[in-house]
Structure 1
Amino acid sequence: MAPDSTDEPRSVVLEQLEAFGLSAYAVRTFAALVSLGDGTAQDVSDVADVPRTRVYDAVEELRTRRLVDVQQSTPKRFWPISSETAGRQFDREYSYRVDALVAALDELEPITRSEEQRGVWTVTGRRTVSDRVVEFIESAEE
């Protein structure tokens, strides 16, 4: 039996959304809503293999990430934002996280060791080498 041509894009969607930190139910719910265009909890449950009661939790997770909108009707209807808008949101989130990480790494204070380690040191960079030579000269007793 030939694999369904929609399996590969769906797998990529599920994998990438999970990489952005969405729960498994939220990932499957969002993918189902994108495929459906909009739907109720029952519609999503039928397509995404997510228990209907858990669809509400997943939609709330997606709503807080601004990936779905909720129509307050009976029953409630959900619809996803466009894939282009979702892509821009994830791009901004990723960029923000990378920028925050780089800034925090730059601000880490060096740890001062209580005793000097013996062994071979490898230093690179003009400033680092110069600093190390100055340190050796200052600590020399003769």
Structure 2
Amino acid sequence: MSVDENEAVDAFERLGLTSYEAKVFIALHRLGSGTARDVARIADVPRSQVYSVAESLEDRGLVETQQSSPIRYRPVSLEEAEDTLRNRFERERDRAFEHVEEVKRESAGEETQEDIWTVRGRDRVDGRVVDLLSAADERIVFGTRLPELLTERIERTLEGRAAAGATVLAVSRDQRVRDRLESLEGVGVQQPPASRKSDQRSGRIAIADDGILLSVVDDDGSETAIWSSGSLFASVLIQLIEAGEEVASDEK
């Protein structure tokens, strides 16, 4: 069998035929028509297998059978075979994706996901913060010690959610950051308790309803964040942060 024919057999296999089906189909086109003996003579398929393979090809609409003695087989035209395989492929594709869509719809109502995601890169973290804040309806807490991490997109989002009725609180130890935050309409601004020492690795914190994001900044300035929303992890972490703030306030 030539290399080209091997490639053709591989291609037919990707279209759903077995290796023997592809070889018999090619052999019949080479013969025009023939018996099982004829096919076995030029194809790498045992004669005993040709009968069942040809029957399978007939079921697929790719071969016609003449009830003679011995039985003869004839392939359908290439145009008809192409249409048959194309239609079969499209039906299987539709069936597969309909199933996936159904599974997706069924799982949409479940609340068992406990997803914790990692985001790397300042631009991607910035986008995730904006997405998280944009989804908040009731309350937002945003904080950062670095002016460059309070982007214009975040400022617009904080103002927008405050205008929509959400309670928005911003926290920063840096005066430059607080000045910018205080210029935003509807955004409350606080300074962390004096007992809370600043570190050199923290990046941003964003709490938006039941979602939370925490980021750190590496020595080279790169930012990495973890975030979660609507999960038990997010709920517990938010409670821990809020409890810590309450303790710090009591100690003042």
Q: TM-score, normalised by structure 1?
A: 0.75
Distance 1:10 1:110, change over 3 A: same
If you compute each CA radius of gyration, which structure gives the higher value, 1 or 2? 2
Please tell me whether the aligned partners of residues 33 and 74 of structure 2 are also in contact (alpha carbons under 8 angstroms).
yes
How many residues were matched structurally?
134
Structure 1 vs Structure 2 CA RMSD: 3.2
1:10 aligns with 2:8: no
Listed as ranges, the matches of 1:34-49 within 5 Å are: 34-49=29-44
The structure with higher relative contact order (CA 8 Å, sep 6+) is 1
| Deviation, structure 1 residue 113 | 5.2
| Deviation, structure 1 residue 20 | 2.2
* Structure 1 partner of 2:73: 78
Distance 1:78 1:106, change over 3 A: same
* Structure 2 partner of 1:3: none
Listed as ranges, the matches of 1:98-113 within 5 Å are: 98-108=93-103, 109-110=106-107, 112=110
Q: State the distance in 1 between where 2:44 and 2:116 align.
A: 60
Q: Which has the higher helix share?
A: 1
1:54-90 CA deviation, whole Å, 9 max, x = no partner? Answer: 1101101111111101000001000000111111111
1:116 aligns with 2:114: yes
1:54 to 49, 56, 64: 49
Q: TM-score, normalised by structure 2?
A: 0.45
| Deviation, structure 1 residue 26 | 1.5
| Deviation, structure 1 residue 23 | 2.1
In structure 1, give the amino acid aligned to 2:61: R
| Deviation, structure 1 residue 50 | 1.4
Structure 2's unaligned 5+ residue stretches are 139-207, 211-234, 243-252
Q: Name the stretch that deviates more: 22-31 or 63-72.
A: 22-31
What is the percent sequence identity of the aligned residues?
32
| Deviation, structure 1 residue 43 | 0.4
